[in-house]
Amino acid sequence: MAQDHLAASSPLPEHARLAAFAGEWTGEEVVFPSRWTEGGPATSHVVARMDLNGFYLIQDGVQMREGKQVFATHGIFTYDRDDRTYKLFWYDSLGYTPPSPASGGWVGKTLTLVRGSLRGNARHVYEIIDDNSYSLKIQFSPDAEGWSDVLTGVYRRIH
């Protein structure tokens, strides 16, 4: 009998750890002045779910400033069994296609993911505060050494 090559293996505990970010969230953010936007306060609405047999966290976010949508994101998080790192495939309304996913791992309650492109390097730092809140810091660096904040935020679960 032929082996079923489409049969999925089970998610690992590393995949399940991403479920900490699943749910519906509201965020208070600070956007720092950059070549992409003016600085200032913003709010975000984030919806994330574990999907595709528990292997992926799929996250969609909408950022509002002065009552208008100014930015949207689509993130796909997973754990790569081969290189034993977490991956973040990030797409946003700026329209750049990343050449590769961000990659990284957990230290305690903090998940740090870094990716590089011809435009520079981005670092996403997610920290679990408690079961109902987390923080995010997105940073940019031209050389992956000196990091500048692009966005900081604290997100609270909507029940």
What is the span of the domain harbouring residue 50?
13-157
Give the percent of the chain with pLDDT over 70.
Answer: 95
Is residue 3 pLDDT above 70, yes or no? no
Is position 4 within any domain? Answer: no
Contact assessment for residue 61 and residue 45, using Cβ atoms and an 8 Å cutoff: yes
Q: Is residue 3 part of a domain?
A: no
pTM (two decimals)? 0.90
> Hey, which residues does 26 pair with through a beta bridge?
45, 156
Q: What is the mean pLDDT of the chain?
A: 92
- Which pLDDT band holds residue 110 (cuts at 50, 70, 90)? very high
- Residue 17 belongs to domain with CATH number: 2.40.128.20
- Identify whether 120 is part of a domain: yes
Residue 32 lies in a domain: yes
In the prediction, which pLDDT does 8 show?
60
Total structural domains in the chain? 1
Q: Report if residue 30 sits inside a domain.
A: yes
* Residue 100 located in a structural domain: yes
Q: Work out the percent of the chain whose per-residue pLDDT is above 90.
A: 79
Average the pLDDT over 9-35 and give the result.
Answer: 95
6-10, 13-17, 133-137, 138-142: which has the minimum mean pLDDT?
6-10
141 within a domain of the structure (yes/no) = yes
Q: Which amino acid is at 144?
A: A
